[in-house]
């Protein structure tokens, strides 16, 4: 049999499966090391936002356990202090203690025990007495309710603190820009083809409304995320947990986060399924679709500057080519479009993972956490960049707008009530074929007179009141 003796840079730790060597300076123990040894798949650790939420869960559980006499006060307080130290540490320092990767056991048990072991080590050092990872740090909990709870908490906090403020910022900047470009009228487009004129402000207000609607839909998902599995323990029955633990835990967590968390009305629903997170991810996908639309509109409007639409000029941020001098590309809209594609892909993975609720437990919790938290952060960062480095700073090319409007035969649509669709179509075709202003052609082929035609075909008046 292979020796279990510890190498000089390791120490021996014991769990229910026996002894195992772990790094001498590691705060974690044997169960974490087994996961490190078993899972060499992606090299991606669990998201830092998830670990932060899990530490908040452990601290709130300890407070509830103290109040309910489920753990001795001195041990509970040592657990709380250990969580506080970890949460206060710089991210790089904190995350070195959480090496378990995303693609692990589907319940996230390895990550739960990783947290339990790290907290127990710090609490034991502080007390100078043993604190058990299972009996004390994990008291009144199991991985099956702690991990779904941390998933809900991290997603809700990410929405509240990062994504929703970022979307609000994008909408606000877009509305403000719309007010500055109200006087600019441009050729509208449907099917990428010339259509009736619109104010540039109408275009931007449309974008802002998309973003505001996306934010409203995301806000509507928060109540579902704020219903927690904690208290359901292994299968949803609440075994080994004080009857008041779930409510006390939720109150403690609410106090520490500022969000109104509550026990789920049915633990079986939030442990066996992850419908609330799937729904939130779906709304993130909808937000991504909105950002993709806005980004692509900006790219088209900026295209050129000579052979494209060239209606606007985006802020020049960096050289656009390694071989073509002077070329500048729409890098922020392009980056935003890639973010949108990634978020849509993340949602597809979350959708599949959400279907993996087998009886009393979903068994793809870590990958759901990884994807939903990445989507949250990507959308938040891209929204702010799009607002500050694309929409707020673009310049309008008024001369190009006017040149296109003057040649737009579709303006003849305004004459339909007076000359009929067929006659208007005939005038439009002549204007297209001969490349002449619609006003000149309409004057030749109607008896409305130039002055009246000029008033009827005025692009500004055609954009509405």
Q: Which candidate in 9, 191, 220, 256 is catalytic?
A: 191
State the catalytic residue, choosing from 42, 183, 220, 321.
Answer: 321
SS (H, E, C) the chain: CCCCCCCCCEEEEEECCEEEEEECCCCCCHHHHHHHHHCCCCCCECCHHHHHHHHHHHHHHHHHHHHCCCCCHHHHHHHHHHHHHHHHCCHHHHHCCCCCECCCCCCCHHHHHHHHHHHHHHHHHHHCCCCCHHHHHCCCCCHHHHHHHHHHHHHHHHHHHHHHHHHHHHHHHHHHHHHHCCCCEEEEEECCEEEEEEEHHHHHHHHHHHHHHHHHHHHHHHHHHCEECCCCCCCCCCCCCCCCHHHHHHHHHHHHHCCCCEECCCHHHHHHCCHHHHHHHHHHHHHHHHHHHHHHHHHHHHCCCCCCCCCEECCCCCCCCCCCCCCCCCHHHHHHHHHHHHHHHHHHHHHHHHCCEECCEECCHHHHHHHHHHHHHHHHHHHHHHHHHHHCCCEECHHHHHHHHHCCHHHHHHHHHHHCHHHHHHHHHHHHHHCCCHHHHHHHHCCCCHHHHHHHCCCCHHHCC
Catalytic status, residue 136: no
CA atoms within 13 A on the CB side of 144: 22
Catalytic annotation on 321? yes
Supply the residues annotated as catalytic: 191, 321
């Amino acid at each position: 049999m292979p020796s279990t003796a510890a190498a000089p840079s390791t120490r021996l730790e014991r769990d229910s499966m026996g002894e195992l060597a772990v790094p001498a300076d590691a705060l974690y123990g044997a169960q974490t090391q087994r996961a490190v040894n078993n899972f060499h798949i992606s090299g991606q650790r669990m998201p830092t936002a998830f670990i932060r939420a899990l530490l908040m869960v452990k601290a709130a559980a300890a407070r509830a356990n103290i109040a309910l006499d489920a753990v001795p006060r001195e041990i509970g307080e040592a657990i709380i202090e250990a969580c506080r130290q970890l949460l206060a540490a710089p991210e790089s320092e904190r995350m070195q203690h959480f090496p378990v990767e995303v693609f692990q056991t589907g319940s996230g048990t390895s990550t739960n025990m990783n947290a339990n072991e790290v907290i127990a080590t710090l609490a034991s050092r502080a007390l100078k007495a043993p604190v058990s990872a299972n009996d004390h740090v994990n008291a009144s909990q199991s991985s099956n309710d702690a991990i779904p709870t941390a998933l809900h908490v991290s997603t809700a906090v990410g929405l509240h603190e990062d994504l929703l403020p970022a979307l609000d910022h994008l909408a606000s900047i877009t509305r403000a820009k719309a007010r500055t470009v109200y006087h600019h009228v441009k050729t509208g487009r449907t099917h990428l083809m010339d259509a009736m004129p619109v104010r540039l402000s109408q275009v931007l207000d449309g974008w802002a409304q998309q973003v505001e609607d996306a934010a409203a839909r995301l806000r509507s998902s928060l109540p579902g995320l704020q219903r927690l599995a904690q208290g359901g323990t292994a299968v949803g029955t609440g075994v080994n947990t004080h009857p008041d633990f779930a409510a006390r835990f939720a109150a403690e967590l609410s106090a520490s986060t500022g969000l109104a968390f509550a026990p789920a009305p049915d633990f079986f629903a939030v442990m066996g399924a992850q419908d609330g997170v799937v729904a939130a991810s779906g709304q993130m996908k909808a937000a991504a679709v909105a950002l993709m639309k806005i980004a692509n509109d900006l790219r088209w409007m900026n295209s050129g500057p000579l052979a494209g639409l060239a209606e606007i000029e985006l802020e020049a941020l960096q050289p656009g080519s390694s071989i073509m001098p002077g070329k500048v590309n729409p890098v922020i809209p392009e980056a935003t479009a890639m973010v949108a594609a990634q978020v849509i892909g993340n949602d597809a993975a979350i959708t599949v993972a959400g279907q993996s609720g087998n009886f009393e437990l979903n068994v793809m919790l870590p990958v759901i956490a990884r994807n939903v938290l990445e989507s949250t952060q990507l959308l938040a960062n891209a929204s702010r960049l799009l607002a500050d480095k694309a929409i707020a700073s673009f310049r309008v090319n008024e001369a190009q707008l006017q040149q296109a409007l003057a040649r737009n035969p579709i303006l003849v649509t305004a004459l339909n009530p007076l000359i009929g669709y067929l006659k208007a179509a005939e005038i439009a075709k002549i204007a297209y074929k001969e490349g002449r202003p619609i006003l000149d052609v309409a004057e030749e082929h109607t008896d409305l007179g130039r002055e009246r035609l000029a008033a009827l075909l005025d692009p500004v008046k055609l954009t509405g009141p």
